[in-house]
Amino acid sequence: MILEVNDLRSGYGRIPILMGVTLNVTEGEFLGILGHNGMGKTTLMNTLMGHLPTTGGTVRFAGQDITKLKSHQRSRTGLGLVPQGRQIFADLTVYENLRMGMAGQSAEDTEFMDDILSLFPRLQRLLERRGGALSGGEQQLLALARCLCARPKLMLLDEPTEGIQPSILDEIVETLLVLRTRGLSLILVEQNLDFIAALSSRILTIQKGAIAGEMSPQDLQNPEIVSKFVGMTAD
């Protein structure tokens, strides 16, 4: 088990958001989390990464209790976050953004970056372009690549499909499936049903800051199940 979360609680100041989340991720598993806005999805990701303090419960990653570790310490253990909105460095070039992702890495940096770029051919011809000049889809690819430069064992991916053209969504799916064969684990927060079904081994639904149920990717093809457990509309 690469991640074990037990009765996790968090929020903003005195406002509780996570009300006791329990979940596990096995090595190499892609876990989807589905739910309406305001149900606690992004709060969960930020709490797992250490950007928000834990007010209750525990988080164990790769056999280590990381509940009280700060975000940079969690990153060093192999946890990485691609946040909602991407948050790339708009004034830096693509290459400089990737170098930022490799902060603290060893002398093998150049070879490793070449390996990462081989997964993102669209970025290879944009290395000297400023991040702010990229399209939304290109920025999302850059955010993914930058996260991978830190060599995560588990990637937290928050709402990656927002405002992205379908062709780049297909590229993201293909790239992530390749990474799964290399042993990457993933927690994917998403509302695009086709996207989350294409990647996830299983899907948890979250409501009011707690896990409400579990379903298979195939269940997302059933409008009755989706409506009952998620309250969304299946295409």
Q: What is the pLDDT of residue 7?
A: 98
pLDDT band at 62 (very low <50, low <70, confident <90, very high): very high
- Under a CB-based contact definition with an 8 Å cutoff, are residues 137 and 165 in contact? yes
Note the pLDDT tens digit of each residue in 152-204.
Answer: 999 999 999 988 989 899 999 999 999 999 999 999 999 899 999 999 999 99
What is the rounded CA–CA span in Å between residue 20 and residue 43? 12
Note the pLDDT tens digit of each residue in 110-165.
Answer: 788 889 999 999 999 999 999 999 999 999 999 999 999 999 999 999 999 988 98
Helix axes 94-101, 136-148, angle to 10 degrees: 30
Q: What is the pLDDT of residue 106?
A: 58
Residue 187, judged by CB atoms within 10 A of its CB (0-12, 13-18, 19+), counts as: buried
Q: What is the pLDDT of residue 155?
A: 98
Q: What is the Cβ-side half-sphere exposure of residue 124, based on CA atoms within 13 angstroms?
A: 9
Task: Locate 213 and state its tokens.
Answer: 């149920």
In the predicted model, what is the mean pLDDT of the chain? 92
pLDDT exceeds 60 at position 72: yes
Note the pLDDT tens digit of each residue in 96-107.
Answer: 999 998 876 655
Q: What is the pLDDT of residue 231?
A: 59
Q: What is the pLDDT of residue 223?
A: 83
Is 0.85 topped by the overall pTM? yes
CA distances from 68 to 51, 52, 72 (A): 11, 11, 12
- As beta bridge partners, residue 187 has 31, 156
The predicted model gives 7-14 an average pLDDT of 94
Q: What is the pLDDT of residue 195?
A: 95
pLDDT band at 224 (very low <50, low <70, confident <90, very high): confident
